[in-house]
Chain A
């Protein structure tokens, strides 16, 4: 039985996002991300990591098989809401062996089969299931997904061709078929792998296009971050006061910037906080800012805020440029000075990223393409090492199965059809 995972709460912005993992490898996956898991049915705070990178500080829950919602081992991560964090955690789970993204309805089916839900309960979900199948259908029709489907159909065609060549040498060895199809098959696989790589590299941008880019405003307390946010957003979203440390949590405003979905994040001022509540806000702000796509760093008196090291792509501006003129570009939320220039700059940076965008927009699709690519690479290595044909063919079959959700199922009849149309089989 595969272990499945999915974001269980609604997609998009929320205070908390719950990612759920169910199946025999759930515990292993939990351990991979956060080290020791809490004992079953107790919650604990854990730092989620992937390699050396910290993904989030999250509440983690664990349920044992037989005493969980699905009846299987279940691990739940209660993450800080926000697409970047969720995407990072889903990406980390995808890398755990034996895990794959859940299909809609799959958690419910497992719960039902394991006797954790009654027939009536499941039937009560009928509307929901209908919505899910309907959503899948719509999803397949939509623009971006439609384009992905076309790309995937291209891959599928090439892979069927490769599979047919290999299968011909396996099933029709007595016939007049070419003996060494290795180089041709390899070339076909290489084409698909290259293409998949390109799509995967565009994944992050495409995901942003759907869920929005995060732009964080970073600076020392009372440097005017909230005022700038309100000015940029054109409405009073953040509480503005002159008392330092007013913004204790993360405040977000969604806006449309030159046609791009952008979420502006106002973070608590970065300083050594004495108030423990504020300290949490500061830490959280730092994490969010770190995960953001773009940071606007406000500098006062020529000093960078504590613990901030701007990267080349960050925008560094002089804060409160309404007061004394100083060196470098400035901005003022209070007067609006420099705001138009800032908006233009943000838009041009983000637009440049979109220009290289890919077609793969969803984690589920990404995982499928990623898995297929891995199998095709394995097939290519097999060909190079002179592995027997049926093992190479097995990897190609696996890759075709992986992109099934994107391109449709490949029936053996299609492979045989390709064989029979290409070669004269029949002694």
Chain B
């Protein structure tokens, strides 16, 4: 028998989910093997060259708060920084960065290289070693066996991936990569429920052939906001993006060629996202709209490629060229690569539990696009959770589960594992019930302590975090030390109602225009508070009353989330439930009481029946 190399955790796939999973497990001290088809492609951005945004920026900050790599790599590669929604409150502001592809890839590989215990292995996984529903390793295409206590699969779009360019289709994971058909066949044998999704990309343009002078320009923010809590500012030169619009002629060309589109020609069965329609979709579904905007995003400082965001398509290459050239500023443009649609299998994420482990198979975790999500950020966030839980599983420790009430990651994983997906799942701030508390600005306050407690957060970040918290605490003390009457506050220029109620300065921060100088008039010590600490306290004060209002319902949800329902609970045999509810419970199979409570038509009385049954079954199990 050959010697089998043994790891604590093996991660299959080197995309955004895979790298975060491998890095998370390595940070926790596990020995990790990251198996990828091509190590040079680790950190490749296969879709648009941007990271963050609304909801997505929140996810990046959360991954960063757990000491993940996507935020730092994005900042290192950032060639344009914009904080979206500046005109609204901080809860719905999301940091976004335009990233240089090659710098991003280099930054990811660099950050991975610094992790001890992480081995990168070139190879194709063709088999999982499994016995009695327990994973113990993987087999590579060359016959090598690798042993592991836990395996994280991040197969992206590689499972039965098919690329469509007009009437030409071929199997492939993404352009230039082979699909993982053998692994797909192996997974089929696990008999997990699956579905088919599709996503699209636009053609790529040669920036030197764009007439930039005729286009609206979009510069970055003057005071850039970084993705990572650890970054202090951009490190490479900044660029400007362009904006242009489709027109009637563009739409005519698309309409005339719909039959040649892979999607409209009936060659695609997968469901695409409603929020990222192809140009064909836009022309058909919003027929009365005369124009759609197109963002021209440079792919790098030393790369002339431009990504025309808003033009994704599965039309044939010649049609793509024709409609792109109908657009203002792009009349002479050269296409460097055609756009394409990719169809792929995803595993119904309802087959996973909230630790992202496959139910019923010990030691197997899924993360990323294979779970039906879309986006680097969604993938990275799942990667951290799956990697951390794989590491904990390898040590025989209980999994980490994030609550909906404390993180976007928790919202996403709960949505995925309870509801499944009907289209590629993307994060929006509207998905978070506790949006006002789950802000990008406080992701570290929400998650870093937990991350540190389980060993996910390294010493450098923890030190920076502790310092920040100490500053905030001190500022809080200074600003809440004394109370002032409305008259005194008004005389200092703080507009409060003359209701006779005295207030401290912390409360006053919620009023829009109270400057630090004004605070210092009443409390001289306030002058010494770092401005960023004042800003952070101001963000908290803005939502204080709303957050209080939500506190009791958030507590109730957390309590219900903690009340697990046995995995094999027989919902069908619970007396007293209506037929309708029983049917829904059997279909959805909630993992805890909070999930059950969200089922339409659920009543407190029915929840009580579930709770008593769960306690009864748990008690019987404990005795057995």
Residues of B within 8 A of A427 (CB): 293-295, 309-310
Of listed A127, A133, A136, A388, residue having the most chain B CB within 10 A: A133
Q: Is A340 an interface residue (CB 8 A)?
A: no
Residues of A within 8 A of B433 (CB): 397
Q: How far is the CA of A393 from the CA of B549 in the complex (A)?
A: 14
Q: Is A104 an interface residue (CB 8 A)?
A: yes
Residues of A within 8 A of B467 (CB): none
Q: How far is the CA of A109 from the CA of B607 in the complex (A)?
A: 8
Interface membership of chain A positions 1-14, coded 1 if the CB is closer than 8 angstroms to chain B and 0 otherwise:
11000000000000
Interface membership of chain A positions 392-427, coded 1 if the CB is closer than 8 angstroms to chain B and 0 otherwise:
011001100000000011011001100010001111
Residues of A within 8 A of B615 (CB): 119
Partner of A390, one of B91, B431, B605: B91
Residues of A within 8 A of B429 (CB): 170-171, 390
Q: Is A126 an interface residue (CB 8 A)?
A: yes
Partner of B556, one of A1, A424, A425: A1
Q: Cβ of A424 and Cβ of B89 under 8 Å apart?
A: no
Partner of A122, one of B54, B295, B310, B608: B608
Within 8 A of B (CB), among A100-139: 103-106, 108-109, 112-113, 119, 122-123, 126-127, 129-130, 132-134, 136-137
Q: Is A174 an interface residue (CB 8 A)?
A: yes
Q: Cβ of A105 and Cβ of B603 under 8 Å apart?
A: yes
Q: Is B619 an interface residue (CB 8 A)?
A: yes
Partner of A424, one of B289, B435, B581, B616: B289
- Shortest distance from the beta carbon of A253 to any chain B beta carbon, whole Å: 35
Q: Cβ of A132 and Cβ of B605 under 8 Å apart?
A: yes
Partner of A173, one of B85, B91, B556, B608: B85
Q: Is B464 an interface residue (CB 8 A)?
A: no
Residues of A within 8 A of B609 (CB): 126, 129
Q: Is A85 an interface residue (CB 8 A)?
A: no
Asked whether A126 and B575 contact (CB < 8 A) given A136-B603, A408-B600, A426-B277, the answer is yes
Q: How far is the CA of A426 from the CA of B285 in the complex (A)?
A: 12
Interface membership of chain B positions 568-609, coded 1 if the CB is closer than 8 angstroms to chain A and 0 otherwise:
000000011110010000000000000000101101111111
- Shortest distance from the beta carbon of B311 to any chain A beta carbon, whole Å: 9
Partner of A119, one of B576, B601, B612: B612
Q: Cβ of A176 and Cβ of B293 under 8 Å apart?
A: yes
- Shortest distance from the beta carbon of B279 to any chain A beta carbon, whole Å: 10
Q: Is B3 an interface residue (CB 8 A)?
A: no
Q: How far is the CA of A175 from the CA of B310 in the complex (A)?
A: 10
Residues of A within 8 A of B436 (CB): 390-391, 394
Q: Cβ of B84 and Cβ of A129 under 8 Å apart?
A: no
Q: Cβ of A129 and Cβ of B605 under 8 Å apart?
A: yes
Q: Is B92 an interface residue (CB 8 A)?
A: yes
Q: Cβ of B430 and Cβ of A105 under 8 Å apart?
A: no
Residues of A within 8 A of B603 (CB): 103-105, 132-133, 136
Q: Cβ of A119 and Cβ of B619 under 8 Å apart?
A: yes
Q: Cβ of A420 and Cβ of B612 under 8 Å apart?
A: no
Within 8 A of B (CB), among A70-125: 98, 103-106, 108-109, 112-113, 119, 122-123
Q: How far is the CA of A424 from the CA of B283 in the complex (A)?
A: 10
Residues of B within 8 A of A133 (CB): 576-578, 581, 603, 605-606
Q: Cβ of B575 and Cβ of A130 under 8 Å apart?
A: yes
Q: Is B236 an interface residue (CB 8 A)?
A: no
Interface membership of chain A positions 174-205, coded 1 if the CB is closer than 8 angstroms to chain B and 0 otherwise:
11100000000000000000000000000000
Partner of A129, one of B92, B286, B576: B576
Partner of B54, one of A105, A109, A170, A176: A170
Q: Cβ of B293 and Cβ of A171 under 8 Å apart?
A: no
- Shortest distance from the beta carbon of A202 to any chain B beta carbon, whole Å: 26
Q: How far is the CA of A411 from the CA of B54 in the complex (A)?
A: 20
Q: How far is the CA of A409 from the CA of B600 in the complex (A)?
A: 6
Q: Is B555 an interface residue (CB 8 A)?
A: yes
Within 8 A of A (CB), among B14-67: 53-55
Q: How far is the CA of A363 from the CA of B14 in the complex (A)?
A: 58
Q: Cβ of A390 and Cβ of B292 under 8 Å apart?
A: no
Partner of B92, one of A127, A170, A424: A170
Asked whether A426 and B276 contact (CB < 8 A) given A105-B603, A122-B608, A171-B430, the answer is yes
Q: Cβ of B276 and Cβ of A390 under 8 Å apart?
A: no
Q: Is A167 an interface residue (CB 8 A)?
A: yes
- Shortest distance from the beta carbon of A1 to any chain B beta carbon, whole Å: 5
Q: Is A299 an interface residue (CB 8 A)?
A: no
Q: Is A389 an interface residue (CB 8 A)?
A: yes
Q: Is B358 an interface residue (CB 8 A)?
A: no
Q: Cβ of B608 and Cβ of A424 under 8 Å apart?
A: no
Q: How far is the CA of A122 from the CA of B609 in the complex (A)?
A: 9
Which A-B residue pairs are the 8 nearest by beta carbons?
Answer: A105-B605, A130-B576, A388-B89, A427-B310, A420-B274, A103-B604, A424-B286, A426-B276
A130-B576, A389-B92, A425-B277 known, 9 other contacts, Cβ within 8 Å: A2-B552, A105-B604, A109-B608, A119-B616, A132-B605, A167-B428, A391-B89, A415-B430, A426-B275
Query: Can you identify 30 A-B contacts, CB atoms within 8 angstroms?
Result: A105-B603, A105-B608, A112-B611, A113-B611, A123-B612, A129-B605, A133-B603, A137-B578, A170-B92, A171-B429, A171-B430, A172-B54, A173-B84, A175-B293, A390-B88, A391-B436, A394-B435, A394-B436, A412-B430, A420-B274, A420-B275, A424-B289, A424-B292, A425-B274, A426-B274, A426-B275, A426-B276, A426-B282, A427-B293, A427-B294
- Residues of chain A whose beta carbon lies under 8 Å from any beta carbon of chain B: 1-2, 98, 103-106, 108-109, 112-113, 119, 122-123, 126-127, 129-130, 132-134, 136-137, 167, 170-176, 388-391, 393-394, 397-398, 408-409, 411-412, 415-416, 420, 424-427
